[in-house]
Chain A
C-alpha cells in the first residue's frame, strides 16, 4: 500500500508546474489505415504520434503542409478533425528473454492469451545497422540439421541466407527445422554445463500469412519442444498493412537485444515477398510515386536496412537472418527476388520439380550457394563432405547426358550410381533435423562406400538403419565427434569399426 502511495508521490513530483509543450495537428482525412494530418509542424520522420482513443501512428510522409501517418490500431474510431499529438518518441517494442515462448503482434503485445509479458526493456523498431568497425567475420556454424544444407551450403552465425522457391516447396519447413535444431542443440549444450556453450534463440516473424498456418507453425515448434527458445511475431494476412510492414523490424529489434547482450539469435522472416506487398500498399495509399511492378522507389532500402541488422559483432553476439522469398513459376529474376538475392550472403533455392520427384528438402544444389562457405563449417563436415557439391554437379551433368543413350562405360555408371545414392541420402523428413555428429557419421559411411552394395532405392532405408544404430549403440562415439568437431585418425578408425559393425545388421 505504502509503495503504491510512494509511486504516486514520485509521479506527482515529476509533474512540475512548468508548462508542457505539445505539438498538435488535426486529421484531414482517414482512409485505408492512413491518416492525412494538418499541422504537426514539429513531427519527425518515423516519429510515433498519438491519436485519440489510444491508437498510435507513425509519421511516414512529411509534406509541406500535411503529414501522412499509418495508423496502428482501430481506425474506425478516428474521424475528421480529431486532434493528433506528437510524442517525441520512435516506435519501440519490448525485448528480452521474457518474450521467449510467446506470440506477439508487430507492436510486441501478446496475442497468445498467456497473460502480460514482464519485459523491462524496449528497443526502437527502426535502428541503424551496426557499422564496419564493430562487425566480425562470420566463422561460427549455425547448424540447420538438414544434411544437404549443413554439408554443402553451410550457414554461419551472423549470416543472411535467403530461402527462395515457389509456393509449397518447403521453404517454411526448412526454417522450422532450423529452429527445432537450435532448440535441440541448446538443450544438449545447456545440460552439459559447458561454460563456453552459446545457445541460439530464435525469432519467427510471420508476415501476411494465414492465421491457420501460423497456428500450425506454433504447434510444430511446441510439439518439438522448441517454443521455449522461440519468439513468434505474428502479422497475419488479416492484419492491417502497417502492422505487416512493421513486424520484421519489430522482430529484428527483439533479435538485436540478444546480439547486443552477447547472445546468439536466429531470425526468420516468413516472408519478405508479402512484406514488400504490404509496403507497396502503404506507399500507394500515401500517394508516393510508384516504380517497377508498382513498388515504390525505396523498396530495395526497405529490405537492405532490415537485413543489414543481422550481423556478428566483435565481443558481443550475433543475429543470423533467414529471409524467405516466394517466387512465381520459379522466376528468380523478378524484382523483389533479385533485390533480396543481392542483399543476402547466399541463397537456398528450392525447386518444385525436385519436390514433386520426392526429393525433400527440394534443395537445388546447383543454384544454391553460401557466400560464407566453408568458413562456417566444422572441420569434421569439411573432411567428409568437402567434395559432395562437385560430385553432385558431375552427377547432374552425367545424368542429363545419360538420358540420350544406354551404353555407358563402367566408370560413368559408377559415378551415376554414386550420385543417385547421395541424392537419396540427402532425403530427410520434415521436422526431424539431424545432429551434426550423426550427419558426419552418415557422410563418413557414404564416403567409405558403405552404401554401394545397397540398392539405390533402399539407400534411405539403409541410412535410417545406420542412424538408428549410431544413436542407440554408439552414443559415446557421437559425443566424441561433437566435442572434437574434427576427425583424427583415432576417430576415423572408431567410425570405420562402427560402420563395419553395422553392415551385417542391414541386409541389402
Chain B
C-alpha cells in the first residue's frame, strides 16, 4: 500500500500538470487549482500543497537564471546571459543579479538544478581539490 506521502506526491504531480499551459506555469491555472483544492479538501491537504509548491518552485527556477557576481554587472551582460540560456534550454529564461563578495571575481549562474561556475572562488576550490 502506498504511503500517505506517496499518494500526496502523486496528487500534487497531477495538480502540477494541470497548472502548465503551453510549457509554462500559468497563474490562472494555479489559481484554479488552489480553488479546487480549497473546495474539495483532499486527504492530507498540507502535504499535497507543500509538494505542489515544491514542483511549481522547481519549474519557476528553470525559467530564471540567478546570476551571482562579485564585481559590477550591467544590464547588457544580464540580457546576454538570459538570451544565451533561452537558446540553450529552449524556453524563455530571465536573468536576475545577486551580489556575492565570496566569489572574489567572476560570476556563478544558477538555473534549475544546474550551476555554471566561472568565478575565482570556484577555480580556487577546484585547485585545492586537485592538489
Contact indicator B113/A19 (Cβ below 8 Å): no
Contact indicator A21/B112 (Cβ below 8 Å): no
Contact indicator B117/A39 (Cβ below 8 Å): no
Q: Does A133 contact B (CB under 8 A)?
A: no
Contact indicator A11/B118 (Cβ below 8 Å): no
Contact indicator A24/B114 (Cβ below 8 Å): yes
Number of interface residues of B (CB under 8 A): 20
* Binary CB contact string for chain B from 95 to 115 against chain A (1 if under 8 A, 0 otherwise): 000000000000001001111
Write the nearest CB–CB distance from B100 to chain A, whole angstroms: 15
Smallest Cβ-Cβ distance to B62: which chain A residue: A41
Q: Does A17 contact B (CB under 8 A)?
A: yes
The answer for the CA separation of A40 and B113 in the assembled complex, in Å, is 6
Contact indicator A42/B130 (Cβ below 8 Å): no
**Contacts A11-B130, A64-B13 hold; do A21 and B113 have CB atoms under 8 A apart?**
no
Write the nearest CB–CB distance from A148 to chain B, whole angstroms: 52
Cβ–Cβ < 8 Å partners of B80 in chain A: none
Q: Does B54 contact A (CB under 8 A)?
A: yes
> Out of B55, B115, B131, which one reaches A24, CB within 8 Å?
B115
**Contacts A64-B13, A65-B55 hold; do A22 and B118 have CB atoms under 8 A apart?**
no
Cβ–Cβ < 8 Å partners of A42 in chain B: 113-114
**Contacts A40-B113, A42-B113, A65-B55 hold; do A17 and B118 have CB atoms under 8 A apart?**
yes
Write the nearest CB–CB distance from A84 to chain B, whole angstroms: 10
Contact indicator B130/A39 (Cβ below 8 Å): no
Contact indicator B113/A39 (Cβ below 8 Å): yes
Smallest Cβ-Cβ distance to A12: which chain B residue: B127
Contact indicator A65/B58 (Cβ below 8 Å): yes
* Binary CB contact string for chain A from 21 to 45 against chain B (1 if under 8 A, 0 otherwise): 1111100000000000011111000
Interface of chain A, helix or strand or loop or mixed? mixed
Write the nearest CB–CB distance from A415 to chain B, whole angstroms: 62
Contact indicator A23/B117 (Cβ below 8 Å): no
Write the nearest CB–CB distance from A52 to chain B, whole angstroms: 12
Write the nearest CB–CB distance from B89 to chain A, whole angstroms: 12
Write the nearest CB–CB distance from A338 to chain B, whole angstroms: 29
Cβ–Cβ < 8 Å partners of A19 in chain B: 109, 116-118
The answer for the CA separation of A15 and B122 in the assembled complex, in Å, is 10
The answer for the CA separation of A281 and B14 in the assembled complex, in Å, is 31
Q: Does A292 contact B (CB under 8 A)?
A: no
* Binary CB contact string for chain B from 45 to 83 against chain A (1 if under 8 A, 0 otherwise): 000000000110010000000000000000000000000
> Out of B55, B115, B127, which one reaches A21, CB within 8 Å?
B115
The answer for the CA separation of A113 and B85 in the assembled complex, in Å, is 51
Contact indicator A41/B131 (Cβ below 8 Å): no
Contact indicator A25/B126 (Cβ below 8 Å): no
Contact indicator A21/B13 (Cβ below 8 Å): no
Cβ–Cβ < 8 Å partners of B58 in chain A: 38-39, 65
Number of interface residues of A (CB under 8 A): 24
Contact indicator A20/B122 (Cβ below 8 Å): yes
Write the nearest CB–CB distance from A329 to chain B, whole angstroms: 33
The answer for the CA separation of A219 and B98 in the assembled complex, in Å, is 61
The answer for the CA separation of A178 and B28 in the assembled complex, in Å, is 73
The answer for the CA separation of A19 and B109 in the assembled complex, in Å, is 9
The answer for the CA separation of A287 and B9 in the assembled complex, in Å, is 15
The answer for the CA separation of A15 and B124 in the assembled complex, in Å, is 9
Cβ–Cβ < 8 Å partners of A39 in chain B: 58, 112-113
**Contacts A15-B123, A20-B126, A65-B13 hold; do A8 and B131 have CB atoms under 8 A apart?**
yes
The answer for the CA separation of A64 and B9 in the assembled complex, in Å, is 10
Smallest Cβ-Cβ distance to B110: which chain A residue: A24
Q: Does A195 contact B (CB under 8 A)?
A: no
Contact indicator B118/A20 (Cβ below 8 Å): yes
By CB atoms of chain B within 10 A, which of A17, A38, A65 has the most? A65
Contact indicator B117/A20 (Cβ below 8 Å): yes
The answer for the CA separation of A261 and B109 in the assembled complex, in Å, is 45
> Out of A11, A18, A24, which one reaches B113, CB within 8 Å?
A24
Write the nearest CB–CB distance from A437 to chain B, whole angstroms: 55
Smallest Cβ-Cβ distance to B109: which chain A residue: A19
Cβ–Cβ < 8 Å partners of A15 in chain B: 123, 126-127
Contact indicator A20/B13 (Cβ below 8 Å): no
The answer for the CA separation of A20 and B109 in the assembled complex, in Å, is 10
Smallest Cβ-Cβ distance to A63: which chain B residue: B9
The answer for the CA separation of A202 and B69 in the assembled complex, in Å, is 55
Chain A 44-75 interface residues, beta-carbon cutoff 8 Å to B: 64-65
By CB atoms of chain A within 10 A, which of B58, B113, B126 has the most? B113
Contact indicator B114/A21 (Cβ below 8 Å): yes
Write the nearest CB–CB distance from B120 to chain A, whole angstroms: 10
Using a CB–CB distance below 8 Å, which chain B residues touch chain A?
3, 9, 13, 54-55, 58, 109, 112-118, 122-123, 126-127, 130-131
Query: Given A11-B130, A15-B126, A23-B115, 10 more contacts at CB 8 Å?
Result: A11-B131, A14-B130, A20-B118, A21-B116, A39-B58, A39-B113, A42-B113, A64-B13, A65-B9, A65-B13
List 26 A-B residue pairs with CB atoms under 8 Å apart, sorted by A's residue number.
A7-B131, A11-B127, A12-B127, A15-B126, A15-B127, A17-B118, A19-B117, A19-B118, A20-B116, A20-B117, A20-B122, A20-B126, A21-B114, A22-B114, A22-B115, A22-B117, A23-B113, A23-B115, A24-B113, A38-B54, A40-B113, A41-B112, A41-B113, A42-B114, A64-B13, A65-B9
Cβ-closest 10 pairs across A and B: A19-B118, A39-B113, A19-B116, A22-B115, A41-B113, A20-B117, A11-B130, A15-B123, A23-B113, A21-B116
